[in-house]
Structure 1
Amino acid sequence: MFEKLEVFQMAQSMARQASLREGAIATNIANADTPGYRARDVSSFADTYKTEHVAPMRATRPGHIGSDGSYTVSVGEDPDSDSTSPDGNGVAIEDEMVKAVEVKRQHDLALAIYKSSLNVLRSSLGKG
């Protein structure tokens, strides 16, 4: 019942996006010496999250686009990666380390939202 609340779905989606981005950053760092490797990244959470509860379009057939109300995130080539080494590698370790810190902050924010919402829910039920 409570897993259907929008705030919990958003916190879970934020944590999943941070996890996927962390994996992409780890792969970039692991391939920092691979010739021709291009850095990969995940688009921001704000760009990818679409809620199913805010005035969704009405789907009258299962074939309608976006009828499931879900969002998708995928790993793609990093458009901000300008640096290339002589061997064609597009990974800058310094940039990846900064991104890793940013991802940790995003994940911590998702957990803070989840904990805060859970505390509010507990208080409203008289259990907190």
Structure 2
Amino acid sequence: MFSDLNVFKMAYAMATHAGKRQSVVSQNMANADTPGYQAREIEPFASTYLQERPRAGMQSTRAGHLNGLQSGQMQWAEYTPNLPSDPNNNSVSVEEEMLKGVEVKRQHDRALAIYKSSMKLLRASINAS
């Protein structure tokens, strides 16, 4: 009955994407004064999730499990956007990174809200049956 609940996989993927993006944003901010540092970014969640979403079939939660693909191991591709640089050849804008940080927090909060709402629905359906 509840064998394949993709909403939980999607919420997990969204939360891990937000965590990875927050890591990239904080790395950019930490290197805001580093000469020659180029700001990094990762691919948007929607486009990457549609390409790499978990496939049907047996999956594992650990590498040691038999015959399963490692689930939840989506690759969030980092890239260097073509941004203008300052005289030190640094392309980090602290203001833009701060705005990205707020956006990432909202994405993570959205993933948690989806997960919590889905858990409430699942509990309600189990209690009703």
Q: TM-score, normalised by structure 1?
A: 0.79
Deviates more, 1:33-42 or 1:1-10: 1-10
Q: 5+ unaligned residues in a row in structure 2: which ranges?
A: 58-68
Q: 5+ unaligned residues in a row in structure 1: which ranges?
A: 57-67
Task: Tell me which residue corresponds to 1:12.
Answer: 12
Task: Tell me which residue corresponds to 2:88.
Answer: 87
Partners in 1 of 2:124 and 2:22 — Cα distance?
A: 34
- Summarize the Cα distance change of 1:17–1:3 in structure 2 as closer, same or farther, 3 Å threshold: farther
For the residue of structure 1 that corresponds to 2:111, the secondary structure is helix
Partners in 2 of 1:76 and 1:3 — Cα distance?
A: 36
Superposed CA deviations along residues 67-124 of structure 1, whole A, max 9, x for unmatched, are x5864213221x2x52311000010001000100000000000000000000000000
Partners in 1 of 2:25 and 2:90 — Cα distance?
A: 14
For the residue of structure 2 that corresponds to 1:126, the secondary structure is helix
Partners in 1 of 2:32 and 2:113 — Cα distance?
A: 33
Identical columns (%):
47
- Summarize the Cα distance change of 1:16–1:86 in structure 2 as closer, same or farther, 3 Å threshold: same
Q: TM-score, normalised by structure 2?
A: 0.78
Task: Tell me which residue corresponds to 1:100.
Answer: 101
**Which consecutive segments of 4 or more residues in structure 1 shift more than 3 A?**
1-4, 68-71
Task: Tell me which residue corresponds to 2:126.
Answer: 125
**1:1-128 matched pairs, under 5 angstroms:** 4-49=4-49, 50-53=53-56, 71-77=74-80, 79=81, 81-126=82-127
Counterpart amino acid of 1:31? N
C-alpha RMSD over aligned residues: 2.3
Partners in 2 of 1:113 and 1:122 — Cα distance?
A: 14
